[in-house]
Amino acid sequence: MNPNLNELLARTDSVMAGRSNGWQPDPHLVAPGGEYRGALQVGVDLGTAYTVLIVLDERGCPIAGEYRFAQIVRDGLVVDFVGAVELLRTLKQRVETKLGVTLTSAASAFPPGVPQAEVRATANVLYAAGLECTGLVDEPSAANHVLQIRNGAIVDVGGGTTGIAVVKDGQVVYTADEPTGGTHFTLVVAGAQGISFEQAETLKQDPQQQKRLFPVVRPVMEKVATIVERHIAGWNVEALHLVGGACAFPGMDRVIQEVTGVPTHLPPNPLFVTPLGIALEHGKSLARLRE
């Protein structure tokens, strides 16, 4: 397990919120005018619920990023190509303004089991938004770039799907992906409260409402847990590691552990684990191109 995980995710949260918290970039990597001049590692995560663009410096430290709620992807498939391109262009321009540089390339990711045609569609979104796509990585492998798990399973609960990856000796040896995720939380909240999907999404993220909503969304959590339980059967998984925005709902880790009987770990700000790993994949792609 990555010993610097909590620090890395706390820094990412600050970057995404526009807070510095006293952090200062390496002065050797910033030009006199304030423009960033070091090598950049860029990750783009086109999620079912959130699209995230994050930039790391050459040391792997987050220095800028943007994310937005947008339903441009469904179950790993790009369903609104034009909307995805426009959103990514906007995020790219905002990050470029912060850094004073033009972003020219990035890596992205895909859920396990997505057809190759859809994987190419993800790359094409990046190209259309002005970014050369230097690499595409499956989401569990991207997450493990950050988590650095030797043995266990990664459970990525995104907006539309739950992805499972079994890791043995640091390598992903089995992956699966099934529908059920944060969007389903929102749908049951909307139905129970008699409100719109958009209103339910806002309500779901309100910390003051989450305790009251827990009994409403618990059945969805239990469904996620049964998906996980089925896919890890026979693999002798010693621990589960949760990532993805839906895992941030209080009680998610507890329910999954209760149903599966497997110790379950939840990092802070789980939404940002996979985007960070995608950015690290970009750095690896650039290193390979330089060889």
CATH of the domain at 200: 3.30.420.40
pLDDT tens-digit map of 170-217:
999 999 989 999 999 999 999 999 999 999 999 999 999 999 999 999
Q: Are 52 and 40 in contact (CB under 8 A)?
A: no
In terms of domains, do 39 and 100 share one? yes
Mean pLDDT of 3-19: 89
Residues 161 and 255 in one domain: yes
CB atoms closer than 10 angstroms to residue 25: 16
Q: How far is CA 141 from CA 32, 138, 197, 210, in A?
A: 38, 6, 32, 31
How many domains does the structure of the chain reveal?
Answer: 2
Q: What is the predicted pLDDT for the residue at 70? A: 87
Spatial distance between the Cα atoms of 185 and 249, rounded to a whole number of angstroms:
10
pLDDT at 27: 60
User: What are the residues whose beta carbons fall under 8 Å from the beta carbon of 27, sequence distance 6 or more?
Assistant: none
Q: Calculate what percentage of the chain has a pLDDT beyond 90.
A: 71
Question: pLDDT tens for residues 249-271?
Answer: 999 999 999 999 999 999 999 99
Inform me whether the pLDDT recorded for 44 exceeds 90.
yes
Mean pLDDT of 110-127: 88
pLDDT at 33: 58
Answer yes or no: is pLDDT of 22 > 60.
no
Give the percent of the chain with pLDDT over 70. 93
Query: Quick one: pLDDT band at residue 19, thresholds 50, 70, 90?
Result: confident
- Is 183 in the same domain as 119? no
Residues in the chain: 291
Could you tell me which residue, 70 or 235, shows the higher pLDDT?
Answer: 235
Q: Are residues 236 and 249 in the same domain?
A: yes
The reply to whether 124 and 157 lie within a common domain is: no
150-169 confidence digits (pLDDT tens):
999 999 998 888 999 999 99
Q: Based on the fold, state whether residues 183 and 280 are members of the same structural domain.
A: no
Q: Is residue 173 domain-shared with residue 284, that is, in the same domain?
A: no
Tokens of 132: 């050369």
What is the rounded average pLDDT for all residues in the chain? 91
Summarised one tens digit per residue, pLDDT across range 124-140 is 999 999 999 999 998 98
Tell me the CA end-to-end span of the chain in Å, nearest whole number: 29
Name residue 216's amino acid: V
φ, ψ (nearest 5 deg) of residue 150: -90, -45
Same domain, residue pair 131 and 152: no
Cα separation, 219 vs 216, in Å, equals: 7
Give kind and range of the element (H or E) at residue 261: none
Are 237 and 179 within one domain?
yes
Residues 45 and 105 in one domain: yes
**171 in the same domain as 212:** yes
Answer yes or no: do 112 and 174 share one domain. no
Q: Give the domain extent around 196.
A: 144-270
Q: Which of 186, 167, 168, 151 is nearest to 71 (CA)?
A: 186
